[in-house]
Amino acid sequence: MYRLLVPIVLLLALIGVSVLSDKPSPRADLVFINSSDVNTLDPQRMSWMHDLRTARLIYEGLVRNDVLSHGFDIEPAVAESWEISDDAVTYTFHLREDARWSNGEPVTAEDFRYSWRRAMLPDLVSDYAAMFMNIKGAQAFYDWRVEQLEAFGEREFASASERQSASYELWEQTKAQFDETVAMRAPDPHTLIIELEKPIPYFMELCAFAVFMPVYEPLVSQYERPDPESGRLIRRPGWTRGGVLISNGPFQLTRWRMKRDMRLEKNPHYWDRDNIAIDSIDIPSVNDPNAGVLAYQTGAVDWIADVTAPYRGEMVAQKLEYLAEHAEQVEQLKAQGLDQFAIDRQLPPDPRAHTHAVSSFGTYFYNFNCKPYLPDGQPNPFADARVRRAFAMCIDKRAVADQVRRLGEPTARTLIPPGSIGGYTSPEGLPNIGDAKDNAEREEIIARSRRLLEEAGYPQDFVVTLSFNKDAGHDLIAQTIAKSWQKHLGIQTRLDQKEIKIFRDELKDKQYMTARAGWFGDYGDPTTFLDINYSTDGNNDRAYNNPAYDALLDRASVELDPEKRMQLLSEAERILVEEDVPLVPIFHYATIYMFDPHRITGLSTHPRTKQNAFLIDVLGDGKGPEQPRPMHAGADADQENES
């Protein structure tokens, strides 16, 4: 039994929220706890993981990822087929004629033009607007709109009515400018032609991203109007209410009570509705992680999409004990090629088996400030790559992963999680003392690190400042790393804990020496990680600048041969993690799920952790092994067995 220090009244309140409403409805086929309350159901304004997870239930883009395949392949969605020009800049999508909105109206190419135009507007302030700038003319359109809005703000008007008329006139001009400038054409309702500024090898991955999903113009446009004061398009959120929202995905929103719950019902007009095994989904609002686990244990919830309870390390440890008890059978099942969830499904039922630690598409790392001088004007030891390598190798990553985090997370030698991107080969990375095979190898790593410091001219008499923000256990990780540096390099480390806002500001301003960091990939291409180290990238918090590294990324951006392109990117990462080391990867994140593997199928073990909940099926009563139903359309029958 887990140590749950939660009053019983909290559990009772949770169950009430989960299963009761003003007008009680039957329990949904699937009840799951999202990682947090949904911020928005406007796909063009999304950025948080829990919002994107919900978007994939109620919206559908041109294509989607086959999350149950090993390669995370692109498969048809609204677009049933497509062609890519020989120069890889023109994409022609053919939309299926049976794609429908939840009101029965057809999904058309114009729906995508309208939706993507929303994302390109500076008015919307989309976090992912830059992704749309890959389309020819999109940046020019964005810049034109910015200039027009600035000019509008400086104009003088004789009256309020004249100002209002001018704002509407500007909006009409903006729509015309989009049609003239941006290379998105719809020659007929079921054909969409997109021309890019240059080849983008991962463009299809972007098309599968939630912010590229369409919204229903006849509804959404009713909630948009030009602001007579600024000229900007003002958007009201009312169109995302339950019973109002019109969407094109597998499910439709029937109820959304803020900070209470969300109810989804199968979209009767969805083109692939016959392959959706469940008819209803409830998503209760449960922000207390302890209460979420309690709700699962009482049967009020079927799946927790992200367990964050403080005792989750103990939960993972109990799962490992359970697997150890069945070690021989586990090895036999692994030899058959079964993935983690399929193995659990074949083992005897046990509550301990309901905890699942799955590698995520993200990495926890430490930054080294690469500027020649520190904020106080003193020479910066970490401006020398030899110093950075020495410190990187003397971090006991195994102690951080196993003793501090305790989530079964793999230690990291690379920034990109290995195996997370099809066709990409990870470099080896630097050795570290935590993963040494024996004491002899460990001592050799330590000796090598000390030699590097001596070569760089740094004796053991300087102090390192290690910065991190409060909460989330960053302090414990920092303490473990500081002990490693003190013990093996003889270097004193001062721990510098800050409030999150101050920490972030200092990180961006490079006002630190070393600092904790983390990154999750946004799309399935190595550049989603590697670009943050490009010399001019806004996320390059390390002030790292290597023309050779930049050149590799530049060459990869125009390389049309997929294999050669991946080789260029792999070499770039090798330079990053083996030679220059502006950052040191510590561990690859894990996401912790809770579900009964004998009842729930359709969840993916892929490191991208991009679950499509509409693929879930709920089986039997969970009292024993049961054969899953046939795989959903688009997945091979044996894909569930792939790791």
Q: How confident is the model at residue 427 (pLDDT cuts 50, 70, 90)?
A: very high
Please tell us whether the domain made up of 359-589 is placed in CATH 1.20.1630.10.
Answer: no
| H or E segment and range at residue 343 | helix 340-346
Lowest-pLDDT choice from 58-62, 554-558, 573-577, 637-641? 637-641
Q: For 109-168, what is each residue's pLDDT tens digit?
A: 999 999 999 999 999 888 888 899 999 999 999 999 999 999 999 999 989 999 999 999
Say yes or no to pLDDT of 605 above 60. yes
CA 415 and chain centroid, separation: 15
pLDDT given for residue 5 in this prediction: 41
pLDDT of residue 13: 45
60-236 topology per CATH: Dipeptide-binding Protein; domain 1 (3.90.76)
What CATH architecture is 1-37+250-349+596-643? 3-Layer(aba) Sandwich (3.40)
Element (H, E) at 498: strand 492-498
Model confidence at 460, in pLDDT bands (50, 70, 90)? low
SS3 track for 503-544: HHHHHHCCCCCEEEEEEECCCCCCHHHHHHHCCCCCCCCCCC
Residue 436 neighbours by CB under 8 Å, 6+ apart: 442, 445
Handedness of CA 345, 346, 350, 353 (dihedral sign): negative
Which residues are CB-contacts of 396 (< 8 A; sequence separation ≥ 6)?
Answer: 432, 433, 434, 480, 481, 484
For the record, the structure tokens of 563 come out as 């294999």
Nearest in space to 121 (alpha carbons), one of 231, 207, 248: 231
For the chain, which residues make up each domain, given as ranges? 1-37+250-349+596-643, 60-236, 359-589
pLDDT tens string 493-522 = 999 999 988 998 999 999 999 999 999 998
| 3 state SS of 578 | helix
Q: Hey, how many other C-beta atoms are within 10 angstroms of the C-beta on 162?
A: 13
pLDDT digits (tens, 9 = 90+) for 230-255: 999 998 889 999 999 999 999 999 99
339-350 pLDDT, tens per residue? 999 999 999 999
Edge-to-edge strands of the sheet including 492-498? 251-257, 261-266, 280-284, 30-33, 303-304, 583-595, 355-368, 514-520, 463-469, 492-498
Mean pLDDT of 217-241: 94
More reliable by pLDDT, 352 or 633: 352
Check residue 413 and report its DSSP letter: S
Is it the case that residue 57 has pLDDT exceeding 70?
yes
Backbone angles phi, psi at 187, to 5 degrees: -65, -25
